[in-house]
Amino acid sequence: MPIMAGALAVVAASSSLAADRDEGGDSKHGFQAKLEYCKTCHGLSGEGYRGYFSMPRLAGQQPKYIENQLRAFSERRRVNPVMFNVAHVLSPATLAALSAHFKALNPPPSGGGPKEHLALGKTIFEEGLPESNVPACSACHGPEAKGHEEIPRLAGQLYPYTLQALSYWGKERGQGGTRDDTSAIMVPTTHNLTQEQMSAIAAYLSYMK
């Protein structure tokens, strides 16, 4: 029942977004309404959701990254039917306002990743795996994993979401990239990681503040 209720909430939110577009969604009321839709899945403070369908943490995320990914959803360069319905009705002003709102949030990380491989995750994040042609995550995402511009923040991201994203990277992202979409850069890296290594990275990141 909770899974069905969550799915219905997402569908209802997506439908209401389309309605808002026709009713002046750029107003303050329109922005607040859209923000409430985001909270339905991503949490009251953008902390993410760890249920059956994990939803990513948006809190503290780089605004340019959020904007680029919403455009990717809208242009179907990143495959997610629900997020397409959400993103394609957002005006540039609303998109920028939502991105700025989530950047300002900073709830504590929820953790949740298995701790037995944290040391491996730390090594991969800081040093990479030269023998497998895997660069250090910190080289692009920064020593604190907070990202920059179009490079996303990874610190505090939910373990199951990061693991799923790494496991299915090429199937969901980079479907005809543009100069603003750096998703393709990650394809060789994800191909060179084992499932255990992906799990270790995701676990380590889930505890970073």
Q: Is residue 121 part of a domain?
A: yes
Whether residue 109 lies inside any domain: the answer is: no
**Is 82 in the same domain as 52?**
yes
Pair (97, 36) in one structural domain: yes
Quick one: 91 and 128 in the same domain? no
Q: What is the pLDDT of residues 2-51, one digit of tens each?
A: 433 344 344 444 444 444 444 444 467 788 999 999 999 999 999 999 88
The domain that contains 174 carries what CATH number?
A: 1.10.760.10
Written as six digits, the tokens of 99 are 């991105």
33 within domain boundaries: yes
CB 100 within 8 A of CB 46: no
128's enclosing H/E stretch is: none
pLDDT of residue 171: 83
Partners of residue 148 on adjacent β-strands: 151
Contact 147, 62 (CB under 8 A): yes
Please tell me whether residues 89 and 148 are part of one structural domain: no
- Structural domains counted in the chain: 2
143, 175 in Cβ contact below 8 A? no
User: Residue 9 has what pLDDT?
Assistant: 42
Q: What is the pLDDT of residue 51?
A: 84
Asked, for residue 108, whether it belongs to a domain, the answer is no
- For the chain, which residues score pLDDT lower than 50? 1-26
- Residue ranges making up the domain that contains 123: 115-206
Single out the residue in 103, 123, 141 at which a domain terminates: 103
Please report which residue ranges of the chain form alpha helices under DSSP H. Answer: 2-21, 28-42, 63-74, 81-87, 92-103, 118-127, 138-141, 159-167, 169-172, 187-191, 195-206
